[in-house]
Amino acid sequence: MKTDLHDELLGVVRDLTQREVAPRSADLDAGDRDAFAHCWTAACAIGLDRVLLAEEFGGAGLGPADLLAMIEEMAAGDAGLAVAVLLHNVALAALPAEAVAAVADGERWSVTLPPLAPSLAFGISKGSAGVSGRIPFVPGALGAGGFAILDPAPGSAALFFHSTAPGLTIQPYPFQMGWRSSPAAGLVLDEVTATPVPHSVGSDSGATRLVRLGVSAVARGIAGRAWELAFEYAHSRHQGGVFIIEHGAVRSLLAGMAVQLQGVGPAAISRAWLDGDDGGAIAAKVLASDAAVGVTTDAVQVFGGAGYMCETGVEKLMRDAMYCRLYPEPNWLVSDQLVASFERRH
Amino acid sequence: MFERGVSATVPPVRSLEEAFPRFRAGDPSTVRVLGDVRERAHAFAQQHVRPLALDIDQRAAADPRYVDWDLVKAGCEHGLLSLAIPSAAGGQGGLVQEMCVTLEELCAACPGVGNIFGAHGLGMLPLLVTGVTHWDGLLHDIAVAERQGRPVLMACAVTEPDAGTDVEEVDLMRRGKITSRAVHVAGGWRLNGTKRFISNGSLADWVTVCMPSDPKRPAETWTCFLVDAHSEGFSVGRVEHKMGQRACPAAELIFDDVFVPDERVVGRPGDGMPCTLLVLAASRPAVAAIATGIARGAYDRVLGWLEQEPTLIGRQQVQLALARMEEEIHLARQGYLDAATEVDATISPALHHPLVRAMRMVPSATRRRPLVRRWITSPWARQTTVAVLRHTVTDRAVTRSLALSSLAKAHAADVAVSVTGLALELVGLDAGEIRAELEKLWRDAKLTQIYEGTNQLNRLTVYRGLSRQETMVALPPSRLRLVGGRQ
């Protein structure tokens, strides 16, 4: 629900994005850790690291809808940073109170989701000596202070451990095309002592839904930025003696982008949250990420050759958008889960 | 993490027979077996190019000027620089079909590397369509250097900072802002201006460049020149950081009062625009082939990967996605083969005109003698070339070819983007090196929707050439008339 406070908060995040993040977008994309640290510190300074926490934990006590709106604003500056903020907030929301209290100021956590398809199970098993197995592709794993594992097995409690836990190996990926400011890694656990969270924070509390809707918000932020850049460029570039916005071909591209953006508006994302249904969150993520890939691809097209060059920053949006399609799982993989969720409803 | 070297095994060419029926070129006496060309290119691409593709991409990401010259030299051994050079000039006499089939194979391995050879072919195209015998000397030199393992590369420079789409379409050019300019001086021309995003621009020894001699009438005075990249006043400016196809650098070329002698005007002064249409008719099927190659490269990789993933390939969702990819690639390939066949058939009568055949009978060494050269590059000989073109080819045939080529290009480019995206989605984020390869192909694919005219411009050409059955002025005017002309 829109309130003055909500708008004011978004204004603060927008200001931060424009002032601190957007000017460093190329450095963040190049994997510059100093640039990331600067932006992360700036985000923490306005409380973006504790959005969902109650005030007694130094949090802002805001709801998921506020977090999603803030993530969208941040993603317009840098998607990787927005993803880091999202996963950190979800991780902290999953931790028990004493663990949250132990998280140092400026420390960043990440979170892992249960796999959608059993065939792709990351197969962690819990033995008497600790947790073992492998968890693939955790964004922002490099440099994270700790990890929360949501629903490691159906019906079991969430777990958490620090990045320094004995038995944990963080395996970085040599290549990453999108979200490059949040380098991902696989986590290999060899009898890691992980602390169980007393309550299930998975589907029941909406943590997994929040991650998917968060990715939707990131996708929307990316797409919105791509739209702005393309719209602006179309009003400044001349071809055929007129601004290219005068060409039907360009108008048609921009119109297509606007339609796709409209379909994944904030209303759709908050409705999916309020529905409280996994299927809705999955559908919203598929829709938003497909739209983001479509809109950014068309934005590069509006720029023509210039859009293909890194300096305009549009091609980065296209790469970041593609990762929204692939994380937490590739869009094609959701069909079974999506249908199952609707079957449960009827 | 990648070994630089040559892979020992070459994966088999999939469904060669079905994919490549023998296409008959326009000349009924010549049956070209494209399968052989394809197999040769396939072997080179898989042995030499694919093992290095990711490594080159990474190096060029750090330094956009990086070029793997060893690979270009290896391409020389496989005749990739002389593919389109007529056999009379020491080349392999390939036409658009051969070029396309080769590019599909190269780009299935690495589109950036493929584009080095593709852009070289594009650089030569203006020479080839305006009378190859005039350029015997240079083409012969390129072929000889290639045999010696010394790559002499070409590039074609048309795009300007303020004119991208404008230089591809005559009506837009009339209203556009062209800032380059060629001024006629004693014995030749002085060129000034900047060209942008020129593939091979920083590597080429020779550049075919188009500029107007009267900026107020660019379309009417658009002229193509052959520029020696070692000329005084010629320099390479910025080399771009690109999203993909990084193995082939895109550079800014600066012309600061570069002198070009009269005999290096390609065609006649002012014939640049019709010449451009003929070049585009031949180059757009090549881009369609590049795009098809990219899509096929992604498809081959994902198929190979899925063979190790029985739980995935057993799912109908995956099987449907693969079938869809096969479908799209098949149609894209048919599209470029159809367009290439049409272009070859359109220009073949000119290549087989009695005057051209007579010229070919003169030994190459004789043609390169100064006196004969002076005659060959004389205005009279140029008029005759145009007259032969006018006599054997019609504006309508070129317009139709161009439209078919544009259709193939726009379609294949969309296929490349969608198939590579789908392939990437199928393997997901945890697939290791295959994911990096597919990400690269997806990044590479996007450029095919942009270069050689944006897809939007290509489709407007389809509308004009096919939907409206328009006839564009696609050949230069001729003041000479040969007996029995078609127009």
**Digits of tens for pLDDT over chain A (346 positions)?**
456 777 888 999 999 999 999 999 999 999 999 999 999 999 999 999 999 998 888 888 899 999 999 999 999 999 999 999 999 999 999 898 889 999 999 999 999 987 765 544 456 777 777 888 899 999 999 999 999 998 766 666 788 999 999 999 999 999 999 999 999 999 999 999 988 887 645 445 588 889 999 999 999 999 999 999 999 999 999 999 999 999 999 999 999 999 999 988 877 777 778 778 888 899 999 999 999 999 999 999 999 999 999 999 999 999 999 999 999 999 999 988 888 888 877 7
Instruction: Work out the mean pLDDT of chain B and round it to a whole number.
Output: 91
pLDDT grade for B8, boundaries at 50, 70 and 90: very low
- Chain A residues touching B311 at Cβ < 8 A: 119
- Chain A residues touching B243 at Cβ < 8 A: 300, 308-310, 315, 318-319
Separation CA A214–CA B386 (nearest Å): 63
pLDDT at B486 exceeding the cut of 70: no
Report the length, in residues, of chain A: 346
Q: How far is B459 from chain A (nearest CA, A)?
A: 10
Residue contact B421–A175, C-beta within 8 A: no
- Chain B residues touching A333 at Cβ < 8 A: 317, 428
- B317 touching chain A per CB within 8 A: yes
Instruction: Please state, in angstroms and as integers, the Cα–Cα distance from residue B384 to each residue in B85, B131, B266, following that order.
Output: 21, 9, 14
Q: pLDDT by residue (tens digit) across A70-91?
A: 999 999 999 999 999 999 999 9
Specify the pLDDT at position B19. 47
Residue contact B456–A301, C-beta within 8 A: yes
β-strand pairing of B154-157 with B206-212: parallel
Specify the pLDDT at position B295. 98
Q: pLDDT by residue (tens digit) across B72-127?
A: 999 999 999 999 999 888 999 999 999 999 999 999 999 999 999 999 999 999 99
Write out residues 141-160 of B within 8 Å (CB-CB) of A. 159
Separation CA A160–CA B125 (nearest Å): 63
Which amino acid makes up residue B9? T
Separation CA B50–CA A261 (nearest Å): 38
Mean pLDDT of B194-205: 98
- Sheet containing B222-228: give its strands across: B154-157, B206-212, B222-228, B265-266
Q: pLDDT by residue (tens digit) across B145-185?
A: 999 999 999 999 999 999 999 998 888 999 999 999 999 99
Residue contact B446–A318, C-beta within 8 A: yes
Residue contact A249–B460, C-beta within 8 A: yes
Q: pLDDT by residue (tens digit) across A156-191?
A: 678 899 999 999 999 999 999 999 999 999 999 999
Which amino acid makes up residue B38? R
Two structure tokens written together for A144: 């994270």
Out of A184, A297, A305, closest to residue B164 by CB:
A305
Mean pLDDT of B447-466: 97
Phi, psi of B232 (to 5 degrees): -65, 135
What are the structural domains, with CATH classification, of chain B?
154-271 (2.40.110.10)
Percent of chain B, pLDDT > 90?
77
Specify the pLDDT at position B380. 86
Closest by alpha carbon to B170, among B471, B487, B451? B471
CA angle at residue B429 from B427 to B433, to 5 degrees?
75
- Chain A residues touching B196 at Cβ < 8 A: 305
Inter-chain contacts counted by CB atoms under 8 A, chains A and B = 121
Separation CA B19–CA B1 (nearest Å): 35
pTM over 0.90: yes
pLDDT at B29 exceeding the cut of 80: no
Residue contact A241–B177, C-beta within 8 A: yes
- Chain A residues touching B197 at Cβ < 8 A: 305, 309
pLDDT at B11 exceeding the cut of 80: no
Specify the pLDDT at position B7. 43
Q: Which CATH superfamily hosts domain A4-107?
A: Acyl-CoA dehydrogenase/oxidase, N-terminal domain (1.10.540.10)
Q: Where are the domains of chain A?
A: 4-107, 110-196, 207-345
pLDDT at B276 exceeding the cut of 60: yes
Specify the pLDDT at position B1. 36
Other Cβ atoms less than 10 A from the Cβ of A182: the count is 30
Residue contact A332–B317, C-beta within 8 A: yes
Separation CA B200–CA B198 (nearest Å): 6
Dihedral sign of CA atoms B277, B279, B281, B286 in order: negative
Out of A300, A326, A333, closest to residue B446 by CB:
A300
Answer for the pair A314, A307: CB distance below 8 angstroms, yes or no.
yes
Out of A184, A240, A310, closest to residue B241 by CB:
A310
Separation CA B161–CA B177 (nearest Å): 10
Dihedral sign of CA atoms A29, A32, A35, A40 in order: positive
- Chain A residues touching B449 at Cβ < 8 A: 301
Out of B163, B317, B430, closest to residue A137 by CB:
B430
Separation CA A269–CA B412 (nearest Å): 35
Closest by alpha carbon to A60, among A72, A69, A47, A71? A47
Answer for the pair A73, A13: CB distance below 8 angstroms, yes or no.
yes
Separation CA A52–CA A266 (nearest Å): 19
Two structure tokens written together for B20: 């490549």
Residue contact A177–B312, C-beta within 8 A: no
- Report cis status (omega within 30 of 0) of the bond before A328: yes
- Chain A residues touching B447 at Cβ < 8 A: 308
pLDDT at B25 exceeding the cut of 50: no
Residue contact A240–B171, C-beta within 8 A: yes
Two structure tokens written together for A102: 């132990």
Residue contact A241–B171, C-beta within 8 A: no
Q: What is the per-residue DSSP string for B409-462? A: HHHHHHHHHHHHHHHHHHH-TT-THHHHHHHHHHHHHHHHTTSSS-HHHHHHHH
Specify the pLDDT at position A3. 67
Mean pLDDT of B278-284: 97
Two structure tokens written together for A304: 């023509």
Separation CA A103–CA A106 (nearest Å): 8
Q: CATH number of A207-345: 1.20.140.10, 1.10.150.20, 1.10.3720.10, 3.30.800.10?
A: 1.20.140.10
Q: What is the ipTM of this complex?
A: 0.96
Q: Which residue has the higher pLDDT, B480 or A258?
A: A258
Give the residue carrying structure tokens 């005999």.
B263
Specify the pLDDT at position B33. 62
Specify the pLDDT at position A156. 67
Question: Where does A110-196 sit in CATH, by number?
Answer: 2.40.110.10
Q: pLDDT by residue (tens digit) across B313-366?
A: 999 999 999 999 999 999 999 999 999 999 999 999 998 899 888 888 888 788
